[in-house]
Structure formats: structure tokens, C-alpha cells
Amino acid sequence: MTAHAPAVDVHHGEHHGPPPAHQSSRVSAPVLGMFLFIASEVMLFGSFFTAYFFVRVVNPDAPGWPPEGFHVPVFVAGVNTAILVTSSFTMHWALQSIKRGNRAGLQAGLVLTLAMGLTFLLTQMLEYARVGFAPRDTAFGSVFYGLTGLHGAHVFVGLTLLTVATVRAFRGHFSPEHHHGVEIPGIYWHFVDVMWIVVYATIYLL
């Protein structure tokens, strides 16, 4: 008795496995994933802001905020804020350029964004070296370094994403039809910029 293997009918282009997941026609899955990730990051920053306002409200011994003897460089941080906000516009320019097929605009926008982001981060590091107090110096020191340091870590991540996007841009990887590698880091970078405006207003101005 001879066993015969069942015939296998192979059709090119036939879909095997589970059906494709439903996808919104307005928001692609990678972009939606970034928005959800940013939502979790907003909650993370929210916990730090909650701690900041709690410490400030329940600390009756401090006549001012920052306490006497603590001086934060408001002007330098303001210039740094202008640099970071400007980088959002160059990031937007880069994305709009590749959507129109303008590779030169894409490359220039990414390089400018990367340069301004790096300037912001280096300026913040210099600020830490000259500010004159440490995280262990009262609750204000802990909150100041906690919030600005958390944001600085996000800037570093954003710069890493922008570096990858810039290298790919100069290698010709993007097109008007395929530019998620620019759009997704851009969304993250805009989030970093907006979050810094909130941090600056809270820590340096209020």
C-alpha cells in the first residue's frame, strides 16, 4: 500500500494566514503608534509636574520659588527655548519638502533641526555646570533637575532619531510616497518642543 501526499495547489499572490488588520484610512499604523507612545510620555511628565506642584504648595518655609539663594538662568533658558521652537519649523519644512519631492529641502531642514537640537542640549549641559546648586539641595533642586533632566533625555532620543533620518535622507531613502521615516521622528520632535515650553513656563517663569 503506497501513501500518496496530498496535492498542494499553489497560487501566486494568494494570501495565507489571518486577514490583514483593519487600518484607518486617515492615520497609518506607525503614526498611530507614535501618538499612543506620546500619550504615555505625557502621563510620565504629568507625574513629575504633579510632584513639582505638590512640593511647591506644601512647602511653607520657602518664601519664594525658587527659594532664596537659588537663581535659575531665565534669559539663557529663554534663548534656548527660542532655538528649540525654531527647530520645530525646520522639522516641518523638512517633512513638507519631501512630500513635494524636494530632497534638498528635506536634507537642509533635517540638518538645521539636528544642529539646533544639539545646540539646545549642549546649552542645557553648560547650564547645569554653572547653575550653582545640585539635586540634593532642597526639594527645588530635585524638581529642577528631575524635570529638565527628563526633558533632556527626550531631546537626546529625538536627536538620535533625527540623526538616523538625516543619514537616510542623504542616501535617498525617502520619497513623496514613502516618508514615514521623516514624519514619525518629526511628530516626536514636535512633542519634545511643546513639552519644553511647558517645562520652561513652569520651572523658570511661574
Report the CATH number that the domain containing residue 72 is assigned in CATH: 1.20.120.80
Please count the structural domains in the chain.
Answer: 1
Domain annotation covers residue 106: yes
Model pLDDT, residue 69: 67
Model pLDDT, residue 60: 56
Structural domain boundaries enclosing 175: 34-205
Model pLDDT, residue 1: 46
Domain annotation covers residue 45: yes
Domain annotation covers residue 12: no
Phi, psi dihedral angles at 40 (to 5 degrees): -70, -35
Model pLDDT, residue 140: 77
Q: Are 59 and 75 in contact (CB under 8 A)?
A: no
Q: Which of 182, 193, 201 is nearest to 88 (CA)?
A: 193
Beta strands in the chain (DSSP E): none
Domain annotation covers residue 98: yes
Model pLDDT, residue 138: 75
Domain annotation covers residue 1: no
- 168 sits in which H/E element: helix 138-170
Q: How far apart are CA 162 and CA 38, in angstroms?
A: 17
Q: How far apart are CA 196 and CA 102, in angstroms?
A: 30
Model pLDDT, residue 19: 57
For the record, the C-alpha cell of 12 comes out as: 501566486
Q: How far apart are CA 127 and CA 204, in angstroms?
A: 13
Domain annotation covers residue 23: no
Domain annotation covers residue 126: yes
Residue ranges of the chain with per-residue pLDDT less than 70: 1-25, 27, 59-70
Q: How far apart are CA 21 and CA 58, in angstroms?
A: 50
* CA atoms in the 13 A half-sphere facing the CB of 153: 8
- Full-model pTM: 0.81
Domain annotation covers residue 61: yes
Measured from the Cβ of residue 156, the count of other Cβ atoms closer than 10 Å reads 13
